[in-house]
Amino acid sequence: MKSEKSVSVVIAGYNEEKIIEISAERMYNTLQAAFEKFELILVDDASKDRTGELMRSFSEGKENVIVLENNINLNFGTATLRGMSVAKYDYITFTACDLPVSPEDIVRCVNEMPDDCDMLVMERTDYITTKWRGFTSEVNRVLLRILFPILTRKTPVLNFSQIYRKRIMKKIMPLARSPIFVWPELIFRAKMIKRCRWQNIKVRCRVENLRRGAFGHPHDIIWGMYDMFRFRIRLWSGRI
């Protein structure tokens, strides 16, 4: 029996022509089997390969598949936010093109999310990465705890994935656009809303192969630190 909950799933990608069709089809088929109402939002982040073309081809004849195309590369966080901002259904979530959060786990998490819960923070139970990415991730976690000791409390993982209710999305859209602070700021803003209810859920990170990413690049580290300190200063000044 299909769930009565309605779901919007965003998948953003850059130069993902090798996997986007397989991933989109797997996500679509899983959502179709599980929910009466759903939409799959595909965002092409100004890819230089056939990613956008393949997204458009996959969407043909499917009214509940939406394709957004960026004219310039915005990075995964900002591209995903663009998809989340146009999502129309009650439960809004995201994953990357290699499906680190599997379609099956998305279905499970949405169905297990209580009706009075506004945000479900996924905690990855494993993490395959390079030594450098692992080091920078740990430094990032420590810095977040130092700058935001209250807001990081009880949410040990801030950079994996989350599920949001549509009723709070407009209230929590972040200023951050850096790859490493978009999701922490979203979580922090949700926590700051009075009567916002949230909880964590453990989810296995399904990626089995290392892929190159931008999150450990010096430019993105500096960008992320700028976003962190800007948000911290705004909190101190009472502007948030």
| DSSP-derived secondary structure for 9-47 | EEEEESS-TTTHHHHHHHHHHHHHHHEEEEEEEEEE-S-
For the chain, first and last CA: distance in Å?
43
Question: Which residues of the chain fall short of a pLDDT of 70?
Answer: 127-129, 208-216
β-pair partners for 139 = none
114-159 residue pLDDT tens: 999 999 999 988 766 677 777 888 889 999 999 999 999 999 999 9
Quick one: DSSP state of residue 108? H
Q: pTM for the complete prediction? A: 0.94
Beta pairing class for 119-124 and 161-165: antiparallel
pLDDT of residue 218: 79
Region of 61 (left: φ > 0; alpha: ψ -120 to 50; beta: rest) is: left
Sign of the CA dihedral running 87, 92, 98, 104: negative
pLDDT of residue 150: 96
Strand order in the sheet with 119-124: 65-69, 35-44, 3-13, 91-96, 161-165, 119-124, 198-203
Fold assignment, 3-237: Spore Coat Polysaccharide Biosynthesis Protein SpsA; Chain A (3.90.550)
β-pair partners for 42 = 11, 67
